[in-house]
Amino acid sequence: MILQEVNGSKLVYLDNAATSQKPTAVLRAIQTYYEAYNSNVHRGIHYLSAKATEEYELARKNIASFINALDSSEIDFTRNATEDINLVAYSWGLQNLKAEDEEPNILVSEQWIHGRRFRRTASGRRVVSARTEVGYVLRGAADRGSYDGASP
């Protein structure tokens, strides 16, 4: 798909925040999964489930190695950045953030347009708001100057 021409020019797809194009190797791996061992991961004792679990854990191990994680158990798969942020906010955040903490408690780069911000109000009520907190530069690093004055 991404090797095609549109109006006489090579197609360049830039809407990766919404949908990322898949390399051929990924498409083949997905096809193999559906054709050879489509089953629940960690949910069965039969061959297909065992094979799906084995491949899933191998992927976690490979990713852990690639990013130098201490262990593959540090790798969790989620559907998107919003789910990632909410997972941190409602698991770690509920246990570790207090109403009296200085804000902002969790900073989210504006690279994630639909990112969420988690905080506790003075009454202790949880609040999640869609508010951009941190600017970024083209290389993806956070713009430290934009931390100053960030507000809910």
In this predicted model, what pLDDT tens digit does every residue of 19-74 receive, in sequence order?
A: 788 889 999 999 999 999 999 999 999 999 999 999 999 999 999 999 899 999 98
- Counting the structural domains of the chain, the total is 2
- Stated pTM of the model: 0.58
Shared-domain flag, residues 105 and 64: no
Average pLDDT for the chain: 73
Please report, as a single letter, which amino acid is at residue 119: R
Residue that finishes a domain, picked among 74, 94, 120: 74
The closest alpha carbon to 35, from 19, 46, 51, belongs to 51
> Strands 5-6 and 9-10: what pairing?
antiparallel
Q: How far apart are CA 54 and CA 48, in angstroms?
A: 10
Structure tokens at 93: 């955040």
Instruction: Examine residue 152 and state whether it is found in any structural domain, yes or no.
Output: no
Confirm if 130 and 106 have CB atoms less than 8 A apart.
no
More confident residue, 78 or 110: 78
Shared-domain flag, residues 28 and 55: yes
Structure tokens at 136: 């970024």
Structure tokens at 65: 């190695």
The SS3 assignment for 65 reads helix
Residue that finishes a domain, picked among 41, 59, 74: 74
Instruction: Examine residue 32 and state whether it is found in any structural domain, yes or no.
Output: yes
Enclosing domain of residue 86: 81-147
Strand-pairing partners, residue 119, are 127
